[in-house]
Chains A and B, each alone.
Chain A
């Protein structure tokens, strides 16, 4: 719904809609200005007004309309000419351009979202690209850009009329400039009629226009939300995919993926995917998936810089297609990898240890990757060793190595479980363990882990060197100390488990603590007695049977 304003031309009343009136008024005033110095200027103006009235009447009755629109004003201007044309002794001098006060308007002719950026650019008379880049930077790094934009969008009015558009740029609002603007519009292929045709002509039009406006607003709103979410997702996707891409192709040793230090770059991908079709499929897959956000970025940047891409549709179509194909390839690759973890098998190996007084040490890796994977010399180094100490009823101590691995089927899992290498070395009392074990590179990483258990007969003493720190795992002991606290002490294997030989006397913090400890010890004694009784009963039975 547009407001109309009534004017009187040569004694006839015309209704002009608001925008049309504003421009028409400017036009007529410019003419009057021009002619005020001429002899008989008032008469000329009267003649012109009369002519305008004639044209308006003609056009209104032709179109069976009541209201003079911008279209009519435009027709008047093109028929009668610019104000300069009215001066009879037309000196071809340009009117001096006085800089008028600029006003903030949103620019509806150059918008990505709401025309805020282009409005600001017009106000400061700089290229809109810089403002947009500034907003994007603010958006990505602080998020302030988003809030600022919304506020400005709401607060700054849109430049609706040509006069406002001129004020937005600080150009003087005179007819020459308005005419210039019209020419620009036409040059932009924005037919004037089209732009102003949506003036409501009846109730039905009013309803459709209102619904259209509301829908437009909703769409715009969701559009912004989508655009923001989309660009964040695209950005993340690009970063993630560049990571996968870099790690699968080993571009100069990028270590992009570092999920809690578990997988390291190239080694991670190769240890998992081997070097066959799976790795190739993953590589091609990530490459293809990368194309879509890249294309999207290209199109987005092109829009940002106001260039239209001729084959944007082809670009987005091929982007989506390659994204889907890429995803399928990645899924196939990862899916087939998952089947390799179906069955699990464990191999046990025993190593006899000499002596009843031991010093335990570990070879600390100088370049530890924290947990998994490092390929050198065709060996996959796995830092997944868990060390424990338990009591044995045998007379001599021994190391038990339990190596587990997964496979597509049981046979494969067993075969893989057999293939591992763990270095131990005994020199005199000193037993050196290694912090890692290795498997052949072609065995790939299939969840291999190694449990190393030192089984000691009762009475054996063992010193735990602090170097064991990384492999020691949940050692049972009489004192109930944490693993870390057990290091640096000498322990003796008793019937009740490992007992500290040189720990400071434990201070109990409360009566409850003490009671609890006593209770636990009593229970342990009971268990021991039960076990002895059982043994004796078995012995008695054996003797009786004889």
Chain B
């Protein structure tokens, strides 16, 4: 059992919630999201994110629009759909409960 694998699994579990959380604060394009996640050390490489974003978009949680960029090709700006907003709220309450539960279990021992 490698510690790295476990860590990765943990991060992966909260990644969707984090993306939705970032977008709940405002629209962002892929690099912005990546930037946030990298700073929080939730992801190491960007590659992980693209399939995830596409899947979230395809399931209808995210919407996007094209915007011109001064440096490079046009960018995809993502935003939460109404469905996505509800999804995010749902996840937030789950996360808060989960956090408390984990806190409780790990400290009460």
Contacts and interface: CB of A to CB of B under 8 A. Distances in A.
A371 interface: no
Nearest to B51: A88
B50 A44 contact: yes
A12 B53 CA distance: 23
A479 interface: no
Contact of B47 (A9, A40, A57, A81): A81
A40 B45 contact: no
B46 A80 contact: yes
A54 B69 contact: yes
Nearest 5 Cβ contacts at the A-B interface: A81-B45, A81-B47, A10-B73, A88-B51, A54-B72
Contacts of A39: 55, 58
B72 A40 contact: no
B109 interface: no
Residue in B44, B48, B69, B75 with the greatest tally of chain A CB atoms within 10 Å: B48
Contacts of A81: 44-48
B45 A47 contact: no
Interface residues of A, number: 33
Which of B31, B46, B48, B58 has its CB near the most chain A CB atoms (within 10 A)? B46
Contact of B30 (A12, A47, A61, A82): A47
Interface residues of B, number: 22
Interface string A258-269: 000000000000
Interface string B33-61: 00000000000111110111111001000
Given A11-B73, A12-B73, A92-B5, A51 B54 contact: no
Contacts of B92: none
B93 interface: no
A479 to B, nearest CB: 105
16 contacts: A10-B74, A11-B73, A43-B54, A47-B30, A47-B50, A50-B72, A56-B72, A57-B71, A57-B72, A79-B46, A81-B44, A81-B46, A82-B45, A86-B50, A88-B48, A92-B5
Contacts of B72: 10, 12, 50, 53-54, 56-58
A50 B31 CA distance: 11
Given A12-B72, A54-B69, A81-B46, A38 B51 contact: yes
Interface string A62-96: 00000000000000001111110111101010000
Interface of B: 5, 30-31, 44-48, 50-55, 58, 69, 71-76
B31 A54 contact: yes
A492 interface: no
A47 B52 contact: no
Contacts of A524: none
Contact of B54 (A40, A57, A61): A40
Contacts of B54: 40, 43-44, 47
A380 B107 CA distance: 100
Given A10-B73, A39-B58, A47-B54, 11 more contacts: A12-B72, A40-B55, A50-B74, A56-B72, A78-B45, A80-B45, A80-B46, A81-B47, A86-B51, A87-B51, A88-B51
Contacts of A86: 47-48, 50-51
B31 to A, nearest CB: 7
A92 B72 CA distance: 34
A88 B31 CA distance: 18
A35 interface: yes
A131 interface: no
Contacts of A31: 47
B63 to A, nearest CB: 14
A35 B54 CA distance: 12
A47 B47 contact: no
Nearest to B71: A57
Contacts of B53: 47
Interface string A23-59: 0000000010001001110011001101101101110
